[in-house]
């Protein structure tokens, strides 16, 4: 069963409370039910945006194979892959 969002609780609660208040008479207890729905919606808003800790996103860069192995060209110091036979920048023979 899906969870009802906070805005739906508040919207339905206000609609029921205002409608029952306008009609009056024997349906006035619907106004209390509407206010209860509104209170539940406000409680959900407080829980979601005030009490729940924020998730901080940690961004990490994915290292290239050359960074993992620490392979660099001996002449120009550019990073090279372990499978490279020549430097892609200066052309120096690596093996």
What region, left, alpha or beta, does residue 91 occupy, with left being phi > 0 and alpha being psi -120 to 50 degrees?
Answer: left
Is 12 in contact with 40 (CB distance < 8 Å)?
Answer: no
Name the DSSP class of 66: H
Closest listed residue to residue 50, CA positions, set 6, 1, 4: 6
Cα-based torsion angle of the residue sequence 18, 20, 23, 28 in order, rounded to the nearest 10 degrees: -130
How do residues 47-92 score in pLDDT, each as one tens digit?
888 888 877 777 676 665 545 556 788 888 888 887 888 888 898 8
Q: pTM of the entire structure? A: 0.53
Name the DSSP class of 70: T
| pLDDT value of residue 1 | 46
């Amino acid at each position: 069963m899906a969870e009802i969002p906070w805005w739906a609780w508040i919207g339905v609660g206000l609609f029921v409370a205002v409608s029952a208040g306008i009609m009056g008479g024997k349906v006035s207890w619907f106004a209390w039910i509407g206010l209860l729905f509104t209170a539940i919606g406000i409680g959900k808003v407080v829980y979601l945006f005030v009490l729940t800790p924020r998730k901080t996103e940690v961004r990490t860069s994915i290292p290239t194979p050359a960074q993992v192995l620490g392979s660099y060209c001996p002449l120009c110091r550019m990073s090279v892959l372990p499978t490279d036979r020549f430097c892609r920048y200066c052309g120096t023979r690596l093996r």
